[in-house]
Every structure is written in C-alpha cells, then in structure tokens.
Amino acid sequence: MGKAILKFIRVSPIKARLIAREVQGMNAEYAIASLEFTPNKAAGIISKVIASAVANAGLEPEEAVITSARVDKGPVLKRFTPRARGSASPKHKPTAHIMIEVAAAEKGDK
C-alpha cells in the first residue's frame, strides 16, 4: 500500500472532488489514461498524484488499484480587485490538499 499527498495546490477543492470521485476504485493505469483526456485542471494534477502514489508503493500502474482518493480544503488566498469609486471587491483563491492511496490489485480484479 502506498500513498501520495499534494498540499496547497491552487485548484478549487469542490471541482477537484468531482474528478477524485470518478477515479476512486479504478485500476491506476486506467485512471491515468482516462484523466489524460479529461478537460479539467484538476485532472492533470490528480493524474500526477496517482503516478506518485503508485511509485511510492513500488508497483506498476497495471497492478495497482486506487483505494482512496480524497480532496480536502486548504487555506484560501484572499485578494482584492479595484472597483468603481475607490471601492474594492474580494477575490477568494481556494487551495486544496489531494491524498491518494493505492494498493496491489487482487488477481481477479481488472
């Protein structure tokens, strides 16, 4: 069993969770291949974290299964945009912590 954690990444945790739920329980090789064609910023990031978790476990992607894919909320960067008449509007730039756990696949799993 291997895991990889990527912290303080500049992507919305709500949007990243949609991708994480898709790949949970998948074969690692299949998940990386499907994320390659997903048009989402979080998909490329999660793909790299999966590859790192597989390498940390000392497995090949075809023999690993994603047991857990979790995205937690990180700190929010608060910025301001100038507006009319000397006022300002807040901008919230969210960050996320991505955690992926992989394990060796059973012989019957695909």
Q: What is the pLDDT of residue 107?
A: 74
Q: What is the pLDDT of residue 93?
A: 97
Q: What is the pLDDT of residue 106?
A: 83
- Going by their DSSP bridges, the two strands 2-9 and 64-73 should be labelled as unpaired
Q: What is the pLDDT of residue 57?
A: 94
Q: What are the beta bridge partners of residue 89?
A: 81
10-residue stretch averages of pLDDT, the chain, 110 residues long:
96 97 95 95 96 95 95 97 97 98 80
Extents of the domains making up the chain: 2-104
Residue 72, φ and ψ in degrees, nearest 5: -105, 160
Q: What is the pLDDT of residue 110?
A: 56
CA–CA separation, 65 vs 48, rounded Å? 15
CA–CA separation, 106 vs 99, rounded Å? 22
Q: What is the pLDDT of residue 39?
A: 95
- At the top level of CATH, the class of 2-104 is alpha beta
Q: What is the pLDDT of residue 109?
A: 57
Query: Which residues 6+ apart lie within 8 Å of 49 measured at CB?
Result: 4, 5, 6, 98, 100
pTM of the predicted protein model: 0.91
The pair of three-digit structure tokens given for residue 109, joined into one six-digit string: 């799993």
Q: Are 27 and 105 in contact (CB under 8 A)?
A: yes
CA–CA separation, 68 vs 86, rounded Å? 48
